[in-house]
Structure 1
């Protein structure tokens, strides 16, 4: 498991529960039918983007019954699976029949060494790269995202050119400092180097700050979009943050509704959960 994953404070990762037995996962109240019912109702109410995140979503026993039974999203909506790529090949057959229209692979490493350093994984990088190819075989839209850190700084250009060679969009992200990752703040590296390098490849660049939480630079290299979440552009609270009790502590701004396995809806806001919550069970 990557050192920066935190499950939004909901389910402590296995290493932490082994070290501290007082930290236990919350109860799992929902079944796959509950998830499908809630997603269907939200889509009918106007929701346009649904992201399936983890950890690794394909590890869940609910992955197939949920993703395989989603309502058709329609032309204005989308379903995105965010994955580390390891299990895509093994699940390729049924994923190809699902209504998912985009897969986003978290590729924070490009060698066995950096994979071990970042994710403590004994699986080789070739398995992850094969998962990316498996996704590309069945989905038209496959994207990458990479967290910039000391452990992968020497591989960032390799990841970029891997994406460009396959015409996959990629997003490079600066580490957002939170209480959870305070002990690893020394791993954070700025995006300045990749921004400078991208400017040698293209002059097609613009910035976006409205409604995105953290400002980002958007480049196009031969028609392929490259995003860089860049702290030099500042942080920007979106309109929904106006009455939030945690606004003064906020890092990124309100960027999603989050629905967990115990039936809670919450507003996802940096590595915290905003004060507003609603039980659906």
Structure 2
């Protein structure tokens, strides 16, 4: 499908990616959860509404879609959503993987390309402390990782939110864990976003990056956000730093969609949402243009 026109915001940034929350429901209660910055309602979009948003986005040059939540796999119709999408370059999902073992194959068959899996610790007790749930669920996550690799939902990216005094001493263990998958599983260290008064858990991101660089056999720089990939004895790891990061904002190509169907130009504010509920395809085209023009050059979150 050729785009009608590639949408760019007032600062020259094209929108080529969508991140779509399909639910605010979740089966965990993580201490750092920011619910994608959303304050929306439980009025979830239907598969048709999700597909229409993606179809219009594709007309304007969107080639990548990432689904999120809440926990997207609490929706039993996620496969139906995937099957309704237009052809895209990359379709992924961020999941806690608790339900992934039994659905990895069907998700792949429905059109999912890869998964990001939230796993903040390899220690079940620490996992339980972070997630607010039974440590026994940890085993299900590990089984979900294995199922994703077996189904070809690769590369599997493990999202590890770093929490000072909780799991920031477990990076080496996580790197060692990924090595067993021979490059099909990579690690992403995530800088904590302070939405729920979690500043006490903030790590020194600069120190973490310095440590990774000192250990790395090779350092690669991604075009997107100028983010660095560190190769450490065969394991691949990135540090994701969305907070107070001018490069992150300067190269942002993503438009977000809340679970109740609002286009969200920036993660860190709810002041410029564009409601799509009930909109026709033609109306959606105009709403997309409106949302893109509301994008700001950098995050303006007030502390």
TM-score (norm 2): 0.71
One of 223, 229, 234 as aligned partner of 1:218:
229
The verdict on how the C-alpha distance between 1:37 and 1:231 changes in structure 2, with shifts beyond 3 A counting, is closer
Q: List aligned pairs for 1:128-277, cutoff 5 A.
A: 128-139=141-152, 140-149=154-163, 150-166=165-181, 167=183, 168-177=185-194, 180-182=195-197, 184-192=198-206, 194-206=208-220, 212=225, 216-221=227-232, 224-229=235-240, 234-236=245-247, 238-239=249-250, 256-270=254-268, 272-273=269-270, 275=272, 277=274
Query: Which structure is higher in strand share?
Result: 1
On the 8 A contact 1:148/1:174 being kept in 2, the answer is yes
Aligned residue number for residue 112 of structure 2: 100
Corresponding residue number in structure 2 for 1:84? 96
Aligned counterparts of 2:243 and 2:261: Cα–Cα separation in 1: 38
Question: How many residue pairs get matched?
Answer: 245
C-alpha separation in 2, matches of 1:92 and 1:155: 27
Gaps of 5+ in 2: 1-28, 279-303
1:265–1:230: structure 2 CA closer, same or farther, 3 Å change rule?
Answer: closer
How far has the Cα of 1:114 moved from its partner? 0.9
Tell me, yes or no, if the aligned pair for 1:174 and 1:230 is still in contact at 8 Å: yes
Deviation at 1:131, TM superposition (A): 0.6
Change (3 A) 1:33 1:172: same
Aligned equivalent of 1:71, options 66, 73, 86? 86
Quote the Cα distance in structure 2 between the aligned partners of 1:170 and 1:60.
26
Distance 1:6 1:199, change over 3 A: closer
2:55 corresponds to 1:40? yes
Q: What residue is the counterpart of 1:251 in the other structure? A: none
Aligned partners of 2:253, 2:270: CA distance in 1, in Å? 11
Structure 1 counterpart of 2:301: none
The equivalent position to 2:121 in structure 1, one of 109, 112, 116, is 109
Q: Please report how far the alpha carbon of residue 72 of structure 1 lies from its aligned counterpart in structure 2 after TM superposition.
A: 2.8
Q: Is the 8 A contact 2:227 2:238 kept in 1?
A: yes
Offset at residue 197 of structure 1 (A): 4.3
- Local SS of the residue matching 2:94: strand
Question: Which residue does the alignment assign to 1:52?
Answer: 67
Q: Which moved more, 1:82-91 or 1:222-231?
A: 222-231
SS of 1:275's equivalent? coil
2:34 is matched with which residue? 6
Find the aligned partners of 1:131 and 1:30 in 2 and give their Cα distance: 26
Offset at residue 97 of structure 1 (A): 0.6
- Let me know the Cα RMSD of the aligned residues: 2.8
The answer on whether the counterparts of 1:172 and 1:227 sit within 8 Å (CA) in structure 2 is yes
Query: Structure 2 CA distance, aligned partners of 1:36 and 1:256?
Result: 17
Deviations 1:11-50 (A, max 9, x none): 5xxxxxxxxxxxxx62516311111122122123210110
- CA distance in 2: counterparts of 1:65 and 1:55, whole angstroms: 18
Secondary structure of the structure 1 residue equivalent to 2:176: helix
Q: 1:273 offset after TM fit, Å?
A: 3.1
Provide Cα deviations, 1:113-144, integer angstroms capped at 9, x if missing partner: 11111001113322111110110011232111
Please give the alpha-carbon distance, in whole angstroms, between the structure 2 residues aligned to 1:10 and 1:191.
Answer: 25
